[in-house]
Structure 1
Amino acid sequence: MVRRRVVKTSANGKKRSYSCNHCFSQIVICGECGEMFRRLHWSNRGVKSIVWRCISRLEPTGQECHARTVNETVLENVVVQAINTLLGDKSTYQAQLQQNIAKVIRSAQQNTADGIDERLQRLQKELLKKATNKEAYDEIADEIFALREKRQQASMDTVQRDEQLQRITELQDFIKDQPSDLTVFDEALVKRWLRQITIWDDHCTVELKSGLKVDVER
């Protein structure tokens, strides 16, 4: 049910949702128009292959797009090269991951729910006092409702930050413990580490869930 929710809103406002189980589904994005790429079985001069093509080139989206068609084996090689780039320069990317951890922690400190709870307690006491004295308390009630929504959002943000920290630390361990470069494509790594692959004319940008980005010429 979670995977079938809306995963992307296109530039033309159309909501795209989960469509298949393939590891590249919903994460291959067009750098030109921002649409997703779709998986197709292709036949060119009798030669069959599997390719990925921008939706803007397959259906009317209101956008003119000239994005190239990408063979699935090319995408697989892009992923292998991106991960090997991380493994080939461990110190640089480990330092970037440490910086990402610091950013997440700073964000958590700035958006803590503790301050909201303290303010809610004071307002609730003030509301009770005004209600007892039959004084107007509409403004206080409105602020309480607004703070409760903010508190709920803060709780959700905390869960997301914890997940982000876990992804970063897991990637750090993977980079540190991986003894050698990858030689074959691993679908499990895509599902575990990748957030998005953006297709440009002359290269692909691989973005990991930890926040790291790697450009691969293709």
Structure 2
Amino acid sequence: MGITMKQKKLRVGAYCRVSTEHEEQQTSIEAQVSYYTEYIKENDKWEFAGVYEEKGISGTNAKNRPEFNRMIKNCMDGKIDMIITKSISRFMRNTLECIKYIRLLKEKGVSVYFEKENLDTKDSKGEFIITLLGGIAQEESRTLSLNTKWGIIHRFQQGIIKVNHNRFLGYTKNRFGELVVIPEEAKIVERIFTEYLEGKGSKKIADGLTADNILTPAGCSKWYPSTIIKILGNEKYIGNALLQKTITLDFLTKKRIKNTGQERQYYVENNHEPIITKEVYIKVQQEKLNRRSTMGLKKKDQGVYKSEYALSGKIKCSQCGKTYHRCHWTIKKERIIVWRCGNRQHNGPKACQAPTIYEKDLFEAIDIVFKTLIRKKEQFIKEMEDTLTKEKELTDPIQKEKEVYNLKDLEWDNKKQRLKEMEEIFETSKQELTEYNDLYCRKLIEKILVISEKEIQIEFKSGIVLNGSINTKN
């Protein structure tokens, strides 16, 4: 009586990949999946182990290829004996990784068959030839990457740009690929800029948006301070676009890094409709610098920037240059608020002899300066306009030589705008300006210099500088 040994079927899977999601490539991968499914199932000696397909995935790195990694895992788990794929370039464009995975699979007894090259890794000559062909595939990928990069830069130079609008609050794209404003989202952007200039910190703004159930650019319910900071620093909200903020240094890993000078950047102005005016944008950048300037110091020297106080970070000592801090004193059981030089406060009178100013006296001095400004506003504004006109005449030839966008290029227009705002405030808020007002201090005052216990100097954002007297009766 003869014994018939039943031959075990070979478990065969297929791997398909296209690098873009274009319609023609979508059709291509669908055809590949259908072809390999039928091809494997028609062979009586094979058992179908699935088709692993990936759309819009680059072949230079296995890290970001979920289906490829799932297939490799199944091979390691003993579920696949053989893989069929169209070509070496479909399997892997990175030569080192290609050989690594072939050897890894070979150790588990899994072979890979490349149809186009008619190569099987179980063949002893296969690995040598695959190394050569894999190197060619890698070089093709490098050349393609360079050509793509050259094409993008060439379009930049021609003024043809493509701005990514994914996770970009306030904009979408029309059928022509142009950025267009989404009115509802634009209101959120305006709110963020306005609240920041009103003195709120990024955390407080983020908490407010979360509390109001407003979704983030990524569609999440919780806002973070980092998201607010990114929005506040995004030049696209004034209609401009800085290109090549990030770059790809290695075409194999495709990892993007911040461009800190490795590659040239391009700045395109008036590319699309703005949501924020340039003047507001500049104010925000200056305010960010003001707040940041207090953060890099030791805590005892910096004074925490508390944005709820309109004068925080604005009052400076004329003797040592340090910032004045808001403090609470208790005198005869009475709580009194004063402003003190941070240097003297932490290091004693030997470090600085600057006087302590009572907040009540400071407010009165500011109030008197505001009233003087209102009374003689035509004179002050005319003098400032004449000064700015002279400045512009001197700086225009220099500005024309500049090729790179810089916030300083808008400084003249910014001061003109501040003067205009000052006029509007004086006209519409005469009643409110009869006494100290936090809001208008934020809007109008750039810096206060403490000259002595009886004198301060107030520099307005428009450039106007006035001295004020402190009443020291207290």
Q: Is the shorter-chain TM-score for this pair beyond 0.5, marking a shared fold?
A: yes
Using a 3 Å threshold, how does the CA distance of structure 1 residues 18 and 110 change in structure 2: closer, same or farther? farther
**In structure 2, what is the Cα distance between the partners aligned to 1:18 and 1:5?**
10
Aligned partners of 2:314 and 2:323 also within 8 Å: yes
1:180 CA drift (Å): 6.4
Aligned partners of 2:291 and 2:313 also within 8 Å: no
Partner of 1:28: 315
Partner of 1:124: none
Aligned partners of 2:328 and 2:337 also within 8 Å: yes
Aligned partners of 2:303 and 2:325 also within 8 Å: no
Aligned partners of 1:100 and 1:211 also within 8 Å: no
Find 2:376's aligned residue among 48, 69, 89.
89
**In structure 2, what is the Cα distance between the partners aligned to 1:35 and 1:161?**
28
Q: Which is greater in Rg?
A: 2
Runs of 5+ consecutive residues of structure 2 not aligned to the other structure: 1-228, 230-287
Matched, 1:205 2:457: yes
**In structure 1, what is the Cα distance between the partners aligned to 2:416 and 2:301?**
29
Using a 3 Å threshold, how does the CA distance of structure 1 residues 107 and 37 change in structure 2: closer, same or farther? same
- After superposition, the C-alpha distances for 1:46-98 in whole angstroms (9 at most, x for unaligned) are 11111100112111399621221111112211221111111112332122221
Partner of 1:78: 365
Partner of 1:215: 467
Aligned partners of 1:7 and 1:18 also within 8 Å: yes
1:8 CA drift (Å): 9.1
Using a 3 Å threshold, how does the CA distance of structure 1 residues 7 and 99 change in structure 2: closer, same or farther? farther
Find 2:416's aligned residue among 136, 159, 165.
165
Number of aligned positions between the proteins: 179
Using a 3 Å threshold, how does the CA distance of structure 1 residues 161 and 28 change in structure 2: closer, same or farther? same
- After superposition, the C-alpha distances for 1:87-120 in whole angstroms (9 at most, x for unaligned) are 112332122221233144224413224x34xxxx
**In structure 1, what is the Cα distance between the partners aligned to 2:327 and 2:295?**
20
Partner letter of residue 407 of structure 2? M
**In structure 2, what is the Cα distance between the partners aligned to 1:188 and 1:171?**
13
**In structure 2, what is the Cα distance between the partners aligned to 1:5 and 1:214?**
26
**SS class of match (1:192):** helix
- After superposition, the C-alpha distances for 1:7-58 in whole angstroms (9 at most, x for unaligned) are 5999xxx984762111110111112222110011111121111110011211
Partner letter of residue 74 of structure 1? D
Q: Which moved more, 1:71-80 or 1:174-183?
A: 174-183
Q: Bigger relative contact order, structure 1 or 2, given CA contacts below 8 A and separation 6+? A: 1
Using a 3 Å threshold, how does the CA distance of structure 1 residues 45 and 18 change in structure 2: closer, same or farther? closer
Using a 3 Å threshold, how does the CA distance of structure 1 residues 57 and 7 change in structure 2: closer, same or farther? closer
Using a 3 Å threshold, how does the CA distance of structure 1 residues 103 and 173 change in structure 2: closer, same or farther? farther
1:179 CA drift (Å): 4.8
Using a 3 Å threshold, how does the CA distance of structure 1 residues 100 and 15 change in structure 2: closer, same or farther? farther
1:11-160 pair list within 5 angstroms: 16=302, 19-21=305-307, 22-60=309-347, 64-113=351-400, 115-116=401-402, 151-152=403-404, 155-160=406-411
Output the TM-score relative to the length of structure 1: 0.70
Using a 3 Å threshold, how does the CA distance of structure 1 residues 172 and 102 change in structure 2: closer, same or farther? farther
**In structure 2, what is the Cα distance between the partners aligned to 1:44 and 1:95?**
46
**In structure 2, what is the Cα distance between the partners aligned to 1:172 and 1:104?**
21
1:165 CA drift (Å): 2.1
**In structure 1, what is the Cα distance between the partners aligned to 2:292 and 2:312?**
14
1:200 CA drift (Å): 2.0
Using a 3 Å threshold, how does the CA distance of structure 1 residues 176 and 95 change in structure 2: closer, same or farther? farther
Aligned partners of 1:31 and 1:198 also within 8 Å: yes
Partner letter of residue 102 of structure 1? T
Percent of residue pairs identical: 20
**SS class of match (1:206):** strand
Partner of 1:187: 438
**SS class of match (1:182):** helix
Q: Which moved more, 1:206-215 or 1:102-111?
A: 102-111
